[in-house]
Chain A
């Protein structure tokens, strides 16, 4: 969990290049036709945390902010960045890359992606701009690639595109997992 303990050998920092060479990443077949491809396309909100790409429902995400200052709380995990004041509402901020035990993409600008509102509001620090993208069934990987332990049991599948693995995640389950980890700290 300690970011300073991260090394280049971290398995997750190498996920993308490794998987780029894996045959699983290759398109399984050419599209049967434009019409079928359109039918088989699912749109997602794609967010990245270092080398980890997550696919969220296209309707996820209430707003995107430049990460505001946060007040840290005692007895919370290092990846819990604290509480931010967003127009008078307190929003818990999670440094998701740190929670996943991976390093941020140093080249990418960071944003705070806020989900829900009121008492259920939660912000995840993401690397780069979240994008809405469609993935075709032909891009779906046959097996689940290596992933951070924190995501165990939360992944429904994965897609590969241009050397990047995108994991389909149960985002509400992920929020519950984070809340449990914070409560246990």
Chain B
């Protein structure tokens, strides 16, 4: 399925803006969320084609939100890419176990982000 609408999630306003600009500049429609909880809600209400989500967030973190999205029959087909400063191999394994389709380590380049999005489509 072609990726057109992307939900970008980060509780850091700076990181959210940065990621939003990279994705929108490439022609994708971008919607945003600033917490894991709101990300889960927006996957249901906005039906994005993909989610790019930070991991380290207060409350429900990116791992937990990814698991919630990928285990809900209504949203399980929406691919999630985790974007995090947590770059250990264990983090990537745990991310994959939560259902993430990709993992980008911060700091990232715009090419890395767009490569992950294209790989989903």
A interface with B by C-beta (< 8 Å): 43, 58-59, 61-66, 87, 111, 117, 129-132
CB atoms of B63 and A63 under 8 A apart: yes
B interface with A by C-beta (< 8 Å): 55-56, 58, 61, 63-64, 67-68, 71, 86, 88, 90-91, 93-94, 97
A64-B90, A111-B90 given; A59·B68 CB < 8 A: yes
CB atoms of B90 and A65 under 8 A apart: yes
CB atoms of B64 and A59 under 8 A apart: yes
Q: Once bound together, how far apart are the Cα atoms of A117 and B88, in whole Å? A: 20
| Minimal beta-carbon separation of A147 from chain B (angstroms) | 26
A130-B97, A131-B97 given; A59·B67 CB < 8 A: yes
Contact of A62 among B63, B88, B91 (CB under 8 A): B63
CB atoms of B64 and A87 under 8 A apart: no
Q: Once bound together, how far apart are the Cα atoms of A66 and B87, in whole Å? A: 12
| Minimal beta-carbon separation of B52 from chain A (angstroms) | 19
CB atoms of A43 and B93 under 8 A apart: no
A43-B71, A58-B67 given; A63·B97 CB < 8 A: no
Q: Once bound together, how far apart are the Cα atoms of A129 and B90, in whole Å? A: 9
Q: Which residues of A contact B93 (CB under 8 A)?
A: 64, 129
CB atoms of B67 and A129 under 8 A apart: no
Q: Which 6 A-B pairs have the closest CB atoms?
A: A64-B94, A66-B90, A64-B90, A63-B63, A62-B61, A65-B90
A63-B94, A64-B93, A132-B97 given; A58·B63 CB < 8 A: no
Q: Once bound together, how far apart are the Cα atoms of A54 and B63, in whole Å? A: 21
Q: Once bound together, how far apart are the Cα atoms of A125 and B54, in whole Å? A: 25
Q: Once bound together, how far apart are the Cα atoms of A111 and B71, in whole Å? A: 23
With a 10 A CB-CB cut-off, give which of B64, B86, B90 has the most chain A CB atoms: B90
Sample of 9 A–B contacts (CB below 8 Å)? A58-B67, A59-B67, A62-B63, A63-B61, A63-B91, A64-B90, A117-B58, A129-B93, A129-B97
